[in-house]
Structure 1
Amino acid sequence: MNNSYSKWSAILAIICAAAIFASYAIAPKQPEGMMVVLIQVLFFTAIITGLLSLIFSFVGVRKKEPGYLKFVAPVIVCLVILTFLISFAIMVVSFF
């Protein structure tokens, strides 16, 4: 292996963000049948790739890989989490 943990970390973080936003973008108000399975696959794929990207990022930092790609995954995962926290806060405020 050529120690490209940083590259895989960034790729997996992008897949994580794309999968989580796709699962919410395609979800109808009342999902039925195969749509439920597709949404679940996208959602859990996003969680798994997000965790793997953070692990690869950590390994890249520990192995002192050059470049900035090892810091892309934590930033993307934090932005995804921040997006959902802000949307949740807006939903809570809208009920008042």
Structure 2
Amino acid sequence: MKQPFSKWSAVLSIIAAVFFYMSYFIAPVNPEGSIVIVIQLLFFTSILAAVLSIIFSLIALIKKDRGFLKFVAPIVIVAVLFEFLL
């Protein structure tokens, strides 16, 4: 049975990008109280999803999955990092 590693890679990279941007959009200037926990949860979940998407993308490349979805994760992660650095 062939597992769709490339599909999970693409889904996790999109989740990582959405959670990363959400953590910055909901953050007030001076976060206090429970919003700090929510921001940290979103930020670290996005990092975990990004790492997992890169791992699944590498597994998809090694197992030679069909399609372009295996290249979505690195492109999305690099685009988010590039935008963050600007």
Residue-pair matches, total: 86
Separation in structure 1 between the aligned mates of residue 35 and residue 20 of structure 2, nearest angstrom: 15
Separation in structure 2 between the aligned mates of residue 28 and residue 65 of structure 1, nearest angstrom: 42
- Quote how far apart the aligned CAs of 1:3 are: 1.1
Larger Rg: 1
- Structure 2: unaligned runs, 5 residues or longer: none
Q: TM-score, normalised by structure 2?
A: 0.98
Q: TM-score, normalised by structure 1?
A: 0.88
Separation in structure 2 between the aligned mates of residue 50 and residue 9 of structure 1, nearest angstrom: 9
Q: Alpha-carbon deviations, 1:45-92, whole Å to 9, x = none?
A: 000000000000000000000000000000000000000111xxxxxx
- Name the structure 2 match of 1:92: none
Q: Does 1:69 align with 2:69?
A: yes
- Name the structure 2 match of 1:32: 32
Separation in structure 1 between the aligned mates of residue 83 and residue 16 of structure 2, nearest angstrom: 14
Larger RCO (alpha carbons 8 Å, 6+ apart): 2
Q: Percent same amino acid at aligned positions?
A: 50
Separation in structure 1 between the aligned mates of residue 2 and residue 31 of structure 2, nearest angstrom: 43
Cα RMSD (Å) = 0.8
- Quote how far apart the aligned CAs of 1:2 are: 3.7
Separation in structure 2 between the aligned mates of residue 32 and residue 8 of structure 1, nearest angstrom: 35
Separation in structure 1 between the aligned mates of residue 50 and residue 27 of structure 2, nearest angstrom: 20
